[in-house]
């Protein structure tokens, strides 16, 4: 049996998160942990993900295309799926594109009991020449690897998976709606598949990608939403996994969302700590445009990546474009903490210019008001406005890149 020091060195090679062995665990549990982790930690010497080995089995029953007007987010799926198994004994197995189908898993599979699951959200777009594009897929691959490593699942070469996703998208290309605002939503997912009720790093995993044609998040144009500032529940905390895209982060947020909805609000605005720092809105990153009280300078603010904030691809895109295109116009672009009380004060003093969420599904989601301590905080929109100037600019700038209207390295041709 290998020593813990040897396992630790192997862990550094494999890029996998190393679970703790608690003193209270039984000898049998410790041995199971060491056996599983010893196999997992040697993954650096095992088979890597290899796009050249891809096999394709085409469906014999192609689906009818859903009319654009009838598309509902995440309800319709394409003909095929990408599927890749991994085992601690062999590494990555042969990548396969197969007909879309159910998964068959034993009831004891660890994903069901201990939430060994992470995922990504990304999109493929049709440009004006009929070509297909992905938007910043390298960022999604980086984040999926971080999420996977954090829960002791295997990591992979991001460029190789991007290539495999490209082949999958090309095969189901007919499902990508050829209209502005429409796209093919891609959901790469990793799950632990070992059949065991023992708690330890999974000895097997499945990486799969499914795809769903989707329409504009706001089919009739922007609809500004109202938020409820939530201080009775916490989405994430320092030292936790709020910065990883894990399925376990999402289910606990549904009940507070339902509670907010029962009071007439579309989403929660998650506050943190006694200081009530503004963090995220629903499942999106949040941006606030505020005038500085002393200088009058306009500042675009979002919460910092302190381990409690998801590293949103759209968040990073908004920040990058803002620094490139708004800073020269006198804006300050900040990743810093801000208290909800300070946001409310800025609104009272007429300094809150606009507020919006940022995420893959909507790009930006304008905010009209925030309920805070029994009062509505006005987020700067006029009665006849559904979006502020910055939100509209960001939507237009990012869409121009996504659909290939603007030549940009973020847009990757499949």
Distance of CA 237 to the CA centre of its chain: 18
Please report where in the chains the tokens 């980086």 appear, as a residue.
142
Q: Which residues contact 241 (CB under 8 A, 6 or more apart)?
A: 150, 151, 248, 249
- Residues 229 and 255: beta-carbon distance below 8 Å: no
Q: Please name the CATH architecture into which domain 225-413 falls.
A: Alpha-Beta Barrel (3.20)
270-274-279 Cα angle (round to 5): 25
- 412: Cα within 13 Å, side-chain hemisphere: 17
Q: What are phi and psi of 206, to 5 degrees?
A: -130, 125
Angle between helices 158-171 and 137-150 (to 10 degrees): 120
Residues of the chain with CATH 3.20.10.10: 225-413
Q: Where in the chain is the domain with CATH 3.30.470.10?
A: 45-214
- Calpha distance 43→151 (Å, rounded): 15
pLDDT for 220 equals 80
| Distance set, CA 112 to CA 98, 314, 405 (Å) | 24, 30, 43
Q: How far apart are CA 41 and CA 2, in angstroms?
A: 11
Place of tokens 């599927």: 83
Give me 314's structure tokens: 């759209």
Give pLDDT, residue 38: 52
Q: Which residues of the chain have pLDDT under 70?
A: 1-44
The answer to whether the CB of 126 falls within 8 A of the CB of 113 is no
Take residue 243 and report the two structure tokens written for it.
Answer: 């910065």
Cβ atoms 285, 357 nearer than 8 A: yes
pLDDT of residue 219: 84
Could you tell me the CA-to-CA distances from 348 to 177, 199, 293, 298, 341 in Å, in that order? 44, 52, 12, 16, 11
Residues in CB range of 162: below 8 A, 6 or more apart:
134, 137, 138, 141, 412
Looking at residue 5, what is its pLDDT? 34
Given this model, what pLDDT does residue 360 score?
A: 96
**Mean pLDDT value across the chain:** 91
Are 98 and 84 in contact by the 8 Å Cβ rule? The answer is no
Q: Does domain 45-214 have CATH number 1.10.274.10?
A: no
């Amino acid at each position: 049996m290998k020593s813990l020091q040897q396992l630790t060195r192997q862990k550094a090679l494999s890029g996998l998160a190393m679970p703790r062995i608690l003193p209270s665990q039984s000898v049998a549990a410790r041995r199971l942990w060491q056996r599983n982790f010893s196999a997992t930690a040697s993954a650096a010497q095992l088979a890597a993900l290899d796009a050249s080995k891809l096999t394709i089995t085409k469906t014999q029953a192609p689906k009818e295309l859903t009319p654009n007007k009838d598309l509902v987010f995440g309800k319709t799926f394409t003909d095929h799926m990408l599927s890749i198994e991994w085992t601690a004994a062999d590494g990555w197995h042969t990548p396969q594109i197969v007909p879309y189908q159910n998964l068959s898993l034993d009831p004891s599979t660890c994903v069901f009991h201990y939430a060994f699951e992470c995922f990504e959200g990304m999109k493929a777009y049709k440009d004006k020449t009929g070509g297909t594009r992905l938007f910043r897929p390298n960022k999604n691959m980086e984040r999926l690897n971080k999420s996977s490593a954090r829960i002791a699942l295997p990591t992979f070469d991001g460029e190789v998976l991007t290539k495999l996703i490209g082949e999958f998208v090309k095969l189901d290309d007919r499902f990508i709606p050829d209209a502005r605002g429409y796209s093919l939503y891609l959901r790469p997912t990793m799950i632990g598949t070992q059949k065991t009720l023992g708690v330890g790093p999974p000895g097997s995993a499945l990486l799969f990608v499914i795809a769903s044609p989707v329409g504009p998040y706001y089919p009739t144009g922007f609809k500004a939403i109202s938020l409820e500032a939530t201080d009775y529940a916490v989405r994430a905390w320092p030292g936790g996994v709020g910065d990883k895209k894990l399925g376990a982060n999402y289910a606990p947020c549904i009940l507070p969302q339902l509670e907010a909805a029962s009071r007439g609000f579309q989403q929660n605005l998650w506050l943190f700590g006694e200081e009530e720092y503004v963090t995220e809105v629903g499942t999106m990153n949040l941006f606030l445009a505020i005038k500085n009280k002393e200088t009058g300078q306009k500042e675009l603010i979002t919460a910092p990546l302190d381990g409690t904030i998801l590293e949103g691809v759209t968040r990073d895109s908004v920040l990058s474009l803002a620094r490139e295109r708004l800073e020269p116009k006198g804006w300050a672009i900040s990743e810093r903490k801000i208290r909800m009380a300070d946001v409310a004060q800025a609104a009272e003093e007429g300094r809150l210019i606009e507020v919006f969420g940022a995420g893959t599904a909507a790009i930006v989601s304008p905010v009209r008001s925030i309920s805070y301590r029994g009062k509505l905080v006005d987020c700067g929109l006029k009665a006849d406005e559904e979006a502020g100037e910055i939100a509209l600019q960001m939507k237009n700038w990012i869409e121009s890149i996504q659909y290939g209207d603007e030549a940009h390295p973020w847009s990757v041709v499949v």
